[in-house]
Structures are given as C-alpha cells and as structure tokens.
Structure 1
C-alpha cells in the first residue's frame, strides 16, 4: 500500500478548525461502518484543542456511538491530574466530557505520583498501549518543527525501540513530558497534521521538502495510508509552489 501525502489549504484558522472537525466526524462514521471499534490519538495545542471544540459544537456528533471509540494522546505535559495545562484536561473540557463516552475508553498519560519515576510512567503507558494502532492520529506542529514532544536534535526523535519516551529537558515548559515515538505515530492508518499561523510556515515548508528528521521531526511523519496537512493560508504562505503540486499533493477536498 502506497502512503499518500496531501495538503489541504483553508482561508483562515476558523474555517480550518470547522472543516477538520466536520471531516473527523464523517470519517468516524465511515470507520465505524467498517470496524466494531476504532482508536483515535489526540494532540494538544491551541489549534488541536480548537478542533475538538468544533467537534463538540457540530450536531453530527450526536449520531455517533462513542462507546465504540477509544481515545489516546500523542504526548502529555508531566503535570498533576486535572492541571489546566495538561492536554488531557483541555481535551476533556473541549470535547470528551460532552460525549457519551465510557471512562475506560479514555487512555490518558500518567501523571506525577502515578508511578515512581517518569521513566516508569513511560513504560506503563507503553504497556497500556500494547499493540494498538490508531485509525486517526492528530498532530500539531511547533514553529521549530517538533511534533508530539519530540523536539529537534533530541535523541528521542530517532528512538526506534521504545513506544513511549520520557522527555526531561523540553525547550518548552514544562521540562518533563511523555511522548509517543515516531514509529508508533507512523504506525497510524491516517495522520492528520493541523497547523495554522505564519509562524508555522517554515516548519511546513521543511516538512514537505523532506528535511532531516533529527532537525525537523515533522518531516519524519508518514501515516500508513495517508498523511494530510490541514493548514490555513498563513501557514501555507512560505511553501514553494513546486511543493504544492497536483502531481504530488492535493489542495482540494478529498476523502481524508
């Protein structure tokens, strides 16, 4: 199976968030027609959480049997349970707490105190994950090209044996984080990279130019079936015209 990479450009952040939310709901319905259960991996960040809020506001969510959907996270800030800066907390407030979702369907990363060390917490989440592969993985991108909590020129970017890593020297606060590794991320059927704003334009251009993964982690992202970059016009501003080419990428609506 050939993995496809596509770029879908939206006029602004608001239309981007609403479009991704609608596409997500449509894809969940389609997947549940084919599978008894599905697994979705969430991201944090302002745009990622805004997409979840847009899902919550879309009436189509009422027609989905959420008991058949399991949620995971690509990374987490290693902060106490319930902390406002945890991706889990923000996702629950934006969407998950508004769904008829059994508690066992939500798989958050551990928090401090759940295990003796952050390394033990990483191992525990890897065990919980087991052989799970994601039907849809959401990712955001930092201006430096990081995805999840895999940062440029950190050894964790090139980790190939572990499923989950402990980051103890994050360049962004807080310094301690937990993250899935690239092999786990890339085992996803579909990866949806959602980014908005002119400060993300450079990272997007480097990703599409297949930059060095160690220096630009997002360049190493590739889902098994397809990888879609959902971007607003500002984020697409610095992408060379030759990289948004109908022979290599799509900029019109597609099946996701």
Structure 2
C-alpha cells in the first residue's frame, strides 16, 4: 500500500479533490491508495476520518482503534436508519447465499424503530425473509402481549410487516419463571446449534450468531447486563436470568457476554444526547476505572457503531 497527501478542510461537509486550494487552513493527512478512485465519497484517512456526503446529508466515520470497532456518526436518526437498513440487508444476503440461513438477534428500546427501512421498498420485497431466524438478546419476563415485552415491540414494529416464517421466530416461553425461561431458551439454542441453524465459534465454543443488533441504555448497559451487576462476569452460561434489574421490569433473561462476543457481526445502535457520556466512555480517550457493560462488547467478528450526532456529541 502506498500513501499520498490530501488535506482535511473544515467545516467538514465535502472533501477537496485537490491539495492545492489556496488560502485555506490545511492539515496534512495520509491516505491509503487502493484500486478505487479517490473521491469524496470513499476516503479512509490514517487519522481515522471518512467523509460521506450527498443528497443534502452527510456522516463522518471514524475507524477506531483495535477493539473499539468502526464508528459511523449520522446527521440524523433518519440517515442512520437508512444506513442500518442497507447494512442489515447486505449481511442477510451474504449469509443466506453462503449457508442458506441468516441468524439475527434483536434487542429492545429504539432499535426496532431504527430497523423501519427494512419494511419498506426496496428491502421488504427484495430480502429473502425465508432464511431469517430471529432471536432476542434479552427479554423481560412478562406476557408476550405486555407493553414491556421486547417480543411485542419487535412484532408490532417489524416482524408483523415482513414475511418471516413464524417457526423461525424464537421468543421466550412466557409461562415460565425467569430462571425457567432462561434455561428453556438456552436449551432451544443448543438444539439449533445441533441442527446447524446456529453456527458455533471455533475459538470459544459458544453460539456464533451472524448479526447481533444491540442498543445501549443511558447507564451504558447492553442486553440486560447492567453496570456493577454480577451477571456481567458470567462466563459459562449461554443464557441467564436477572430478578433485580435496576430498570423495570425487574425479571429478565439475557444472553451472556461470551455469547454476545462470539458474534460474527455486532451493530451497536445508539441515538440521543442522553447516551453521549457512555458513548464517550467506550470510544473516547479518557480512562475510566469502572468499565461499563458497553465497553465489554468486543466480538471476535466485526463491530460497527451507528450513532446519531447527539449520541456522539461528547466524542
């Protein structure tokens, strides 16, 4: 790989095609040369910044240090949802062609809203939904028709609008206790591993999902793994339960970090200024002695952050 010099010029909306623009404050940057033409739509700098502009919208991307993944910051949640839809559809197509199935794990919160582009053209008609197998990274132990249910949230906002096969949607048994529901869900996963629906990580022996779509709470929690809770250290079980969640409802089941981090791809989708502090803790340069759960997300595969500009405001 050879390198050449370009310049970053603020304010950052577009990138110049020439380094010889006069009378502008210029910062030299090293750009890796590839077989693709260097344009303002496809530039990755050694500083980590990529610019993307067009159609009145833009985002900037940082290629964060190893272990933190790729970070994309969007001007609006609408732009984020457009990109997330394409990202998810592309991965679904890739895995469906490679192995005939696509295992995707959902979370609750605003994540389902951010997937809304998938239920619109062109994706709703173009995606091969028959290959999808849908799971939840965590679930509240409530009836499926309860407003707190992650299943209900996903069904109302996403699953009811796509032709996914009902037998390929794996919700918890809401008739069981928290402990019973966790054990039952883990048994379900083990059966699907044996039947080759879910892959297994050669490195860890834990189930390896194709894509895990995670949100994050204002306290930095992911799934139902909360700051300071003993469950963040669970390293043997695939699925466990919590009865004292600091966020209601108190009883939940959750994947453990060994399962989360065995994923082939993880997308962390975070919007809103209220989540800027934990985003900065995870992606900024500051040192924090108390590691947040979101900082423990480190898949053996690829990690992609999808942030709106408010969530990224402290970076």
- TM-score category, normalised to shorter length: 0.7 to 0.9
2:227 aligned residue (152, 158, 162)? 152
Q: 1:85 Cα deviation (Å)?
A: 2.0
1:59 is aligned to: 122
Verify the 8 A CA contact 2:261 2:299 in the aligned structure 1. Answer: yes
Point out the structure with max Rg over C-alpha: 2
Normalized per residue, which structure has more strand?
2
CA distance, structure 1, for counterparts of residue 226 and residue 68 of structure 2: 25
2:88 is aligned to: 24
TM-score (norm 1): 0.86
Question: Quick check: 11-20 or 176-185, which moved more?
Answer: 11-20
CA distance, structure 2, for counterparts of residue 61 and residue 166 of structure 1: 34
Question: Quick check: 213-222 or 156-165, which moved more?
Answer: 213-222
CA distance, structure 2, for counterparts of residue 118 and residue 137 of structure 1: 22
2:257 aligned residue (170, 182, 189)? 182
1:103 is aligned to: 166
SS state at 1:45 partner = coil
CA distance, structure 2, for counterparts of residue 71 and residue 214 of structure 1: 33
TM-score (norm 2): 0.70
1:85 is aligned to: 148
Indicate how the Cα distance of structure 1 residues 43 and 104 shifts in structure 2: closer, same or farther if over 3 A, else same.
same
Q: Is the aligned partner of 1:8 residue 2:106?
A: no
CA distance, structure 2, for counterparts of residue 190 and residue 135 of structure 1: 6
CA distance, structure 1, for counterparts of residue 89 and residue 187 of structure 2: 29
Indicate how the Cα distance of structure 1 residues 170 and 215 shifts in structure 2: closer, same or farther if over 3 A, else same.
farther
2:179 is aligned to: 119
Q: 1:189-225 deviations in whole A, cap 9, x for unaligned?
A: 0000000111111111111259779740010101222
Q: Is the aligned partner of 1:233 residue 2:309?
A: yes
Alignment of 1:39-58 (within 5 A): 39-46=103-110, 48-58=111-121
Unmatched segments (≥5 aa) in structure 1: 240-256
Normalized per residue, which structure has more helix?
1
Unmatched segments (≥5 aa) in structure 2: 1-65, 199-207
Verify the 8 A CA contact 1:12 1:233 in the aligned structure 2. Answer: yes
- CA-based RMSD of the aligned residues comes to 1.9
2:277 is aligned to: 202
CA distance, structure 2, for counterparts of residue 186 and residue 152 of structure 1: 17
Q: 1:4 Cα deviation (Å)?
A: 7.0
Indicate how the Cα distance of structure 1 residues 25 and 161 shifts in structure 2: closer, same or farther if over 3 A, else same.
same
CA distance, structure 2, for counterparts of residue 96 and residue 70 of structure 1: 11
Higher relative contact order (CA 8 A, sep 6+): 1
Question: Quick check: 208-217 or 127-136, which moved more?
Answer: 208-217
